[in-house]
Structure 1
């Protein structure tokens, strides 16, 4: 009879150290071009209607509602400077598998639409939608992520945590950087939307093929649980 012997935390810590070359060389290459899902956000009144104001015009514009910003074609454009860190046991069944990176960049496109109202002599005469689009890059620099691994008969990933400071670059297709467009960049940098991006990234690193391969290699190194 063959008895299953679950790996110990130390088995996993040793296996993670043995994964240094694979993690540092292979993971960044496999992470690049991983797709992120389309995301839409209620951005509030970003002031896009003011872009229609013209000096001397008898017509003014106001906001009829909140803008919607949508991110599309998002991919991990690069992941550089990856360095494996020493794994650490949290308890008998949980081990953190950490690594640091110098930059993780997500690139794609943005579009927005905000309802606007046309007024003449103080009365609403018509409605329209202010809209626009361009490219967006979101970069997390000089920080880290770690896999939360659970021990059983074999090792599994229960979650991934991404840390780091987020910066956002907006490149409109035309029109420079008026105040309403700067507001889009500020919106992406808010706590709420930063958390939304981290949540998306964490899910990508949890479910991607390279993460599954990594765990399979660690299980091999710990004897596959036998």
Structure 2
């Protein structure tokens, strides 16, 4: 029989201290918290997508309301001050075209920059390119241009030289006035970036060798505009 005084006391369990990190309860994400984070990300992405879609629809509506029509160009008069040929061959001439351009838009105006003009015959240039000043074209307005082209000898093919001389003998010359440059559209407070503009005007003129001055235009001289 063991005496009570001689019995071994039970060992005391170690106390848990606050400084022991292994014994501290570790925070962990529950399934609900992870779901809430994913839901917030999904909601933010949905908001961004909806915002971009609405912004695109608004821009499209504004564009459709102010849908710009291309400007209209037309040659209304032409004066030819000589058309001469020299070897090997060269063509020298001076021509003045009067071109009327009309802006048919009610809310859109045009800004033309880097404009230049020249005359071609059978797709070959017969006058040196002429730089034109910048042009502002207000809505529902008409502007007239009267550039004087030529003044220098331009090398051409034999076909072009012979064709021009033959046209003069018939009394009808088919020329093409070309205008190229850049244009911006302005509607309200909105301006577009620069776009290339190409204007091509087919002109049939009554002209015979030795005549100088205003020549009659034969047929319509409406221009094709690519902007």
TM-score, normalized by length of structure 1?
0.31
Q: Which has the higher contact order (CA 8 A, sep 6+)?
A: 1
TM-score, normalized by length of structure 2?
0.31
